[in-house]
Structure 1
Amino acid sequence: MIDLYYWPTPNGWKISIALEEMGLDYTVKPVNIGRGEQFDPEFLKISPNNRMPAIVDHDPPGGGAPVSVFETGAILIYLAEKTGRFMPTDLRGRMTVIEWVMWQMSGLGPMLGQNGHFKFYAPETLPYAQERYGNEVLRLFGVMDRRLEGRDYLCDEYSIADMACWPWVITYKKQEIDLDQFPHVRAWYDRLKVRPALRRGYMVGRELGKPSGKWDEEARKNLMPNPTLPQKTD
C-alpha cells in the first residue's frame, strides 16, 4: 500500500494519474496547502521541501522498511521502476523518458506556474512579468509541439513523461493559451484525456476542491514564498 500525500493541483494530479495507470493500491492523505498543512512536522519528515505530493511506499521493492519519496519527477521514476511500466528498460529509451520528465520539472511546470501566478494571484498587475512568463510558456508549447509531430506520445510509447506533462497542459484554458496554435499538442492532449485511468487519476480528491485562481489571506500567507514564515518543526 502507498500513502499519497496530496492536494488536487497539477503536481498532485501527476502522481494520482500514475498510481491509477499503474494499478497500484494507495490511500490519499490530504495536505491542504492553503491552510498550511505542508508545514506539519510529520509531513516535513517525508517532504523536507514542504511541498506536496509525496509518497510513502509500505511495500517497497526488495522489502524492508517503508520508502518515502518527494518531488514529482523522483516519484514518477520510482513508481515506474517499482512496477516495470511506463519507462523503457533499455538505456536510450529510459534516458529519453527521463529527459522529458526533467523538461517538465524544470520548464513546463515552473513556467506555467509563474504565468498563472502573475495572471491570477499577484496582488498587482505586472506587465513585464506577464509578458516574460507568457512568452516562455508559448516557447515551451512550441518545443512540445515540434516533439509531438509524427508521434502519438512524447516518447516512443505512453510513459511517465506524458503523465508529467498532461496535468499542466490541461490548464491551458485558464491560462488563456490558444491550444489550436499547437496542433500536435492538441492532438496529444485529446488522445490522452480519454484514457480511463488518467481520468480517474485526474478526479482524485475532486471533493477537496481544485485550483480556483484566487487566494484568501490565509492561503496567500501559506503559499507565497516567504523565508520568514515560521516552519513547524519538532
Structure 2
Amino acid sequence: MSDLSAFPIVLRWPAQHPDRLQFYSLPTPNGVKVSIMLEEIGLPYEPHTINIGQNETWTPEFLSLNPNGKIPAILDPDGPGGKPLALFESGAILVYLAEKTGKLLPKDLAERYETLQWVFFQMAAIGPIFGQLGFFHKFAGREYEDKRPRDRYANESKRLLGVLETRLAGRDWLMGSEYTIADIATLGWVRNLVGFYGAGELVEYDKLKRVPAWLERGLARPAVQRGLEIPKRP
C-alpha cells in the first residue's frame, strides 16, 4: 500500500487506490492532454475532478501540489526510485509519462528532440494564443467595443494553424507516420478553437485541408474519445 499521507492534496481528494497514479484535472484543452495520454498508454490511474468554476485550484490543498493553481497535476506513487512524485504542467507530465512507459516518444535522440519541439510549440504558442482568442471571442472579452485585441489573436491563430498545415504536408501526424505526444498536446486545442470557442470562421478553418483531416484522425482514436470525458465534469 502506497503512503501518500505526506501530500496535503489527498486530504481534500482522498485516494481510493493509492497504488495508482492520482490525476487531478478537468476536461479542458490542457487537462485532456493528460487524460488522453493515460488512456493511450494504459497506465492505471485514479482521476479526481477539480472544479475550476468553484476555484478549487486555489485551495491550499491543490496549491500544495501546483503553486501556480492550474490543472492538470499528477501524483505518482511510483515515481523515480520508487518514491512518490508530484508533477504539474501538462507538457512536463506528457514527457514524464512517455519516458516512464517508453511510449509515444521516439527513442531515436534526434526524433525525440524533434517531437519535443512540437510539444513546446503547442505550449508556447498554440495554447496561449488560442486561449486568448477564446477569451476575446467567446467570454468576457466579446463585450469589448474595441475588436483589435480579438483580431490580433484571430490573425495569430490563423498563422499558427498555417504552421500546422504546412507541417502536416505528406504526414498523417506531426512526426510523420507515428502518433506521439506532440499530437496529444495539440489535438484538444484545435478541437476547442473550432468547437467550444466557435472561432472557425474567424481563423478561416474551412480553407485548411490537412489540419481538419489530422484532427478527425485524432478524434477517431478510442483513447482520445475516452480521454476527452475524463474526469467527469461536476
**Shared fold (TM-score, shorter chain, > 0.5):** yes
**TM-score interval, normalised by the smaller of the two chains:** 0.7 to 0.9
- The 8 Å contact of residues 137 and 199 in structure 2, kept in 1 or not, is answered as no
Please name the residue that 2:138 is paired with.
Answer: 120
Q: Please state if 1:88 is matched with 2:106.
A: yes
Measured after TM superposition, the shift of residue 206 of structure 1 is 4.1
Q: Taking structure 1 as the reference length, what is the TM-score of the superposition?
A: 0.85
CA distance in 2, matches of 1:30, 1:186: 30
Give the aligned length: 207
AA at the equivalent of 1:175: G
Please name the residue that 1:107 is paired with.
Answer: 125
Q: What CA deviation, in whole Å up to 9, does each residue of 1:43-68 have, x standing for no partner? A: 1111111111000001124312x101
Same amino acid, percent of matched pairs: 46
AA at the equivalent of 1:7: L
CA distance in 1, matches of 2:151, 2:232: 32
AA at the equivalent of 2:186: C
Moved more, 29-38 or 170-179: 170-179
Measured after TM superposition, the shift of residue 184 of structure 1 is 0.7
CA distance in 1, matches of 2:110, 2:120: 15
Please name the residue that 2:199 is paired with.
Answer: 176
Q: How does 1:71-86 map to 2 (within 5 A)?
A: 71-86=89-104
AA at the equivalent of 1:158: Y
Structure 2: runs of 5+ lacking an equivalent? 1-19
Q: What CA deviation, in whole Å up to 9, does each residue of 1:116-154 have, x standing for no partner? A: 001121252230111000000000000000000100100
Q: How does 1:213-232 map to 2 (within 5 A)?
A: none
Please name the residue that 1:139 is paired with.
Answer: 159
- Secondary structure of the residue aligned to 1:29 is strand
AA at the equivalent of 1:163: I
Q: How does 1:1-234 map to 2 (within 5 A)?
A: 1-64=20-83, 66-122=84-140, 124-125=143-144, 126-156=146-176, 157-171=178-192, 172-173=194-195, 174-177=197-200, 178-208=204-234
- Secondary structure of the residue aligned to 2:46 is strand
- Secondary structure of the residue aligned to 1:145 is helix
Q: Taking structure 2 as the reference length, what is the TM-score of the superposition?
A: 0.85
RMSD: 1.2
- Secondary structure of the residue aligned to 1:62 is helix
Q: CA distance change for structure 1 residues 207 and 49 in 2, over 3 Å: closer, same or farther?
A: closer
Structure 1: runs of 5+ lacking an equivalent? 209-234
Where has structure 1 moved over 6 Å in runs of 4 or more?
none
